[in-house]
């Protein structure tokens, strides 16, 4: 290298950073394009290897001295990504003094901030550690000589590979256990909105396992499709770390556009689909590899004695269990049996055993799409598959990879690997549909038509990936599927309505007053007074919410849905709806006490067995109760789900349904003191809430723009309107928006707040204030408050 060669570890870091900056800058047309991810990794490996070689020589490691410095991990494979730790091993023959040598090697790197994973061992010690520690055994398979006695490195590398080949089969149980534990911790690369590129299922660690199994000659070397997936994951990880300027392996949506641009892709959605496909390819390859080695097949015991599973056990017509895999019977003919494909799939889902790759290949080659309308028995096999529970995900994945799922559902192509646009979702759209169906299988006993519930769960978001309302498009596609399946017209209509209105109940329950007669009749009219459809929608709402992401399905949401459904059933049956619930006796007594004393007061009413606690704050009648009460509650880490503001005995009364974000309810005396100070202006709510938001970092850096929607004729008062705000969630959001509404002269009558992961949907019902152009003015002020 030239005079710019780094001589100290600090120089190494500076040279690395210069290289990364150069890689980020586009070059002139004459000079060509900037470094590709592969070229950047190569350059980083060259830089570090050159420095380490020179540093080792300076530290006293010479050829033939019985001491060697070798690299494992990314540097060993020459796949060094930006800001990667250096995995180094100092190996010696047991006769050389290495204590001071090791310190001279490691300390400069530590002091310069270079990540380092190091060890000092003899060849025998390294092999002994590898025998006891799987991670070490796998790491030594990548061992590569850097400096010193090459014979020592060659001896260790050869022995490590030989021992792995000889003992790999005995370590398969340990291997599969470690892999599954890692998958539980890191999730999946395919289908996850924020994939862990290194540790997730279908990630780079799984490639290491495939290479190790191939080295042990237990499987063939990975093919072209797996290698292409490996390249995409490695390139994405390289660009993610380069752009982030630090070690990062989890790709977040806010990083996606920059990484996609660096890789020449259109946007983060194109990148997400490509990564999902790559993750599926690697995960499937490893699943097949582990099955082929017998690693994923636990031994069977009968009366304490190991017993071999029967070779072929019938499961259904033309379907057998061959060892631990679902296979075709010897006389099965996929080309002449249109129901065989679904019988195989249903048997796999029912038993939890995977479909044999050979059976999948044969079915993909010759199984026809069932002719429309499907025979009743084929349709029953589909319903049996959809009701299989957790086993459904692996079956659909296996069928989809072979093109068999699209043979049954051509509409699936638009949602395959499609990343969600809603931040609350943690799965890609196709996996979300499968997960919803898995959840729905647990609820089939609660509905009169389990088959339609399962089909509706599978299809409820099938309209996504298009430019139109996905519920409208999805309803048309669901009707198309229903006709193809041979459902009666009435069932097709119910299935289409189930998809069209799958958001009706959760949206209404969490954004409107479920005790309001106008709200109830609007839902009943929308559903055509059909109680079966109502029950199906209730079950689908739960299954859908559970499959969306953490915190989307809550006890509070379940209670609201159940109350709304109960009221709708009453209306459908011609019964009398309950009168609107006003203040309860304790709340009226509080209001009358405040009217007498003239001092604000607070009432906390925990309800055993209920999802939320009711907190009532009362003050002598004055504007600003909603905003100040919401601010005090937020300051005490209470999440507000519903609020109403009423007047009783010249007292303004705010009633709030709340749950603690964490911990327990605050002392009522503290709430009373803070509410009194907030009303008097001596408690600077906005300042305290802003500080709390900074402390808890509640705002996402790539948060979407807030949006205001208006709804007329959805309240008992024909003159009232509903404002719905959709915005990134933060601790003081309700306080800020309520303050903006009050400053515009709005007298809010009720509010509903819904949290959907990092987003919030807050609805406010009120009578428009007597000001010109009030909608535009209020919209402007609310959006400004939502932006903070």
CATH of the domain at 747: 3.30.70.260
Which residues span the domain enclosing 751? 593-787
Domain containing 140 — which CATH number? 1.10.357
Statement to judge: residues 122 and 18 lie in one domain: yes
At 24-54, the pLDDT tens digits run: 766 444 444 578 999 999 999 999 999 999 9
Statement to judge: residues 386 and 447 lie in one domain: no
Confidence band of 522 (pLDDT split at 50, 70, 90)? very high
Please give the mean pLDDT across all residues of the chain: 89
Residue 706 has pLDDT above 60, yes or no: yes
Identify the domain boundary among 264, 293, 322: 293
Confidence band of 402 (pLDDT split at 50, 70, 90)? confident
SS3 track for 181-241: HHHHHHCECCCECCCECCCCECCHHHHHHHHHHHHCCCCCCCCHHHHHHHHHHHHHHHHHH
Residue 615 CA to residue 642 CA, distance in Å, equals 11
Statement to judge: residues 242 and 349 lie in one domain: no
Residue 298: inside a domain: no
- What is the pLDDT, as a whole number, of residue 8? 85
Residue 620: inside a domain: yes
Statement to judge: residues 599 and 748 lie in one domain: yes
Statement to judge: residues 464 and 400 lie in one domain: no
Residue 299: inside a domain: no
Statement to judge: residues 137 and 184 lie in one domain: no
Strands (E) across 213-309 are located at 300-302, 305-307
Contact 563, 514 (CB under 8 A): yes
Lowest-pLDDT choice from 90-104, 172-186, 404-418, 462-476: 90-104
Statement to judge: residues 721 and 644 lie in one domain: yes
Residue 686: inside a domain: yes
Identify the domain boundary among 151, 167, 183: 167
Name the pTM for this structure: 0.82
Residue 375: inside a domain: no
**Residue 493 CA, distance from chain mean position:** 33
- What is the pLDDT, as a whole number, of residue 25? 67
- What is the pLDDT, as a whole number, of residue 297? 53
Confidence band of 759 (pLDDT split at 50, 70, 90)? confident
- What is the pLDDT, as a whole number, of residue 9? 86
Residue 249 CA to residue 278 CA, distance in Å, equals 16
Statement to judge: residues 517 and 606 lie in one domain: no
Statement to judge: residues 45 and 148 lie in one domain: yes
Cβ within 8 Å of residue 401, ≥6 positions away: 280, 281, 284, 360
Confidence band of 354 (pLDDT split at 50, 70, 90)? very high
Confidence band of 188 (pLDDT split at 50, 70, 90)? very high
Residue 4: inside a domain: no
Could you give the percent of the chain with pLDDT greater than 70? 94
Statement to judge: residues 425 and 393 lie in one domain: no
- What is the pLDDT, as a whole number, of residue 2? 42
Contact 243, 322 (CB under 8 A): no
Lowest-pLDDT choice from 119-128, 607-616, 657-666, 721-730: 607-616
- Select, from the ranges 372-376, 488-492, 745-749, the one with the highest average predicted confidence (pLDDT): 488-492
Residue 194 CA to residue 174 CA, distance in Å, equals 28
Residue 3: inside a domain: no
Residue 248 has pLDDT above 80, yes or no: yes
Cβ neighbours, 10 Å, residue 775: 12
Could you give the percent of the chain with pLDDT greater than 90? 65
Residues linked to residue 325 through DSSP beta bridges, in sequence order? 322
Identify the domain boundary among 243, 259, 293: 293
* DSSP SS3 for 316: strand
Residue 378 CA to residue 373 CA, distance in Å, equals 10
Statement to judge: residues 187 and 272 lie in one domain: yes
Q: How many domains does the chain have?
A: 5
Statement to judge: residues 182 and 262 lie in one domain: yes
Residue 376: inside a domain: no
């Amino acid at each position: 290298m030239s005079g710019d060669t780094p001589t100290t570890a600090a120089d190494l870091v500076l040279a690395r950073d210069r290289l990364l900056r150069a890689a980020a800058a586009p070059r002139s047309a004459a000079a060509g394009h900037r470094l590709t991810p592969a070229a950047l990794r190569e350059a980083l490996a060259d830089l570090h290897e050159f420095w380490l070689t020179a540093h080792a020589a300076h530290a006293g490691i010479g050829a033939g001295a019985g001491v060697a410095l070798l690299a494992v991990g990314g540097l060993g494979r020459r796949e060094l990504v930006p800001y990667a730790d250096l995995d180094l091993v100092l190996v010696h023959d047991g006769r050389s003094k290495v204590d001071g040598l090791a310190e001279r090697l490691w300390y400069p790197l530590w002091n310069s901030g270079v990540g380092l994973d190091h060890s000092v061992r003899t060849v025998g010690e390294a092999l002994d550690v590898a025998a006891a520690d799987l991670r070490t055994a796998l790491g030594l398979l990548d061992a590569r000589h850097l400096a010193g006695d090459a014979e020592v490195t060659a001896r260790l590398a050869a022995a490590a590979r030989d021992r792995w080949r000889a003992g790999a089969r005995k370590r398969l149980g340990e291997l599969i256990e470690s892999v599954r534990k890692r998958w539980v911790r890191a999730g999946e690369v395919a289908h996850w909105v924020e994939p862990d590129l290194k540790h997730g299922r279908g990630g780079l660690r799984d490639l290491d396992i495939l290479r190790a199994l191939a080295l042990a000659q237990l499987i063939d070397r990975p093919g072209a499709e797996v290698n292409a997936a490996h390249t995409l994951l490695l390139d994405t990880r390289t660009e993610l770390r380069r752009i982030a300027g630090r070690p990062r392996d989890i790709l977040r949506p806010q990083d996606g556009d920059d990484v996609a641009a660096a890789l020449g892709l259109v946007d983060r959605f194109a990148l997400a689909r490509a990564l999902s496909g790559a993750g599926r390819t690697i995960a499937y390859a490893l699943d097949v590899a582990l099955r082929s080695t017998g690693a994923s097949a636990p031994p069977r015991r009968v009366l304490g004695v190991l017993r071999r599973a029967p070779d072929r056990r019938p499961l259904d017509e033309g379907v057998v269990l061959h060892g631990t895999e679902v296979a075709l019977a010897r006389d099965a003919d996929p080309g002449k049996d249109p129901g065989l494909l679904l019988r195989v799939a249903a048997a796999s889902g029912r038993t939890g055993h995977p479909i044999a790759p050979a059976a999948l290949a044969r079915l993909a080659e010759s199984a026809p799409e069932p002719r429309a309308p499907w025979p009743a028995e084929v349709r029953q096999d589909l319903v049996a598959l959809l009701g299989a529970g957790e086993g459904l995900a692996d079956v659909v994945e296996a069928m989809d990879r072979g093109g068999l799922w699209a043979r049954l559902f051509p509409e699936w192509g638009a949602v395959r690997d499609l990343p969600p646009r809603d931040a609350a979702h943690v799965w890609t759209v196709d996996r979300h549909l499968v997960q919803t169906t898995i959840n729905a299988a647990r609820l089939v006993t609660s509905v009169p038509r389990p088959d339609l519930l399962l089909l509706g769960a599978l299809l409820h978001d099938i309209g996504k990936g298009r430019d139109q309302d996905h519920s409208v498009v999805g309803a048309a596609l669901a009707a198309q599927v229903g006709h193809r399946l041979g459902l009666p017209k009435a069932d097709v209509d119910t299935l289409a309505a189930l998809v069209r209105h799958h958001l009706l109940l959760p949206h209404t329950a969490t954004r409107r007053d479920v005790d309001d007669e106008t709200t109830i009749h609007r839902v009943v009219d929308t559903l055509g007074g059909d109680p079966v459809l109502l029950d199906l929608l209730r079950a689908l709402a739960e299954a859908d919410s559970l499959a969306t992401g953490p915190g989307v399905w809550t006890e509070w949401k379940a209670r609201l849905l159940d109350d709304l459904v109960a009221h709708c059933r009453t209306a459908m049956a011609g019964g009398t709806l309950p009168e609107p619930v006003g203040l309860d006796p304790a709340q009226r007594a509080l209001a009358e006490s405040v009217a007498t004393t003239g001092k604000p007061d607070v009432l906390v009413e925990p309800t055993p067995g209920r999802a939320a606690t009711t907190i009532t704050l009362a003050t002598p009648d004055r504007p600003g109760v909603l905003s100040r009460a919401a601010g005090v509650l937020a300051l005490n880490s209470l999440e507000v789900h519903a609020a109403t503001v009423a007047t009783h005995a010249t007292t303004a009364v705010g009633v709030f349904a709340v749950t603690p974000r964490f911990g327990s309810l605050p002392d009522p005396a503290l709430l009373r003191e803070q509410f009194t100070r907030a009303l008097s202006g001596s408690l600077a709510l906005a300042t305290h809430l802003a500080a709390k938001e900074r402390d808890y970092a509640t705002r996402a850096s790539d948060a979407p723009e807030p949006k205001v929607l208006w709804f007329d004729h959805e309240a008992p008062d024909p003159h009232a309107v509903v404002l719905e705000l959709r915005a990134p969630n933060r601790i003081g959001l309700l306080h800020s928006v309520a303050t903006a509404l009050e400053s515009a002269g709005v007298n809010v009558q009720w509010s509903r707040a819904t949290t959907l992961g990092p987003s919030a949907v807050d609805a406010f019902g009120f009578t428009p204030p007597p000001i010109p152009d009030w909608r535009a003015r209020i919209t402007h002020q609310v959006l400004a408050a939502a932006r903070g």
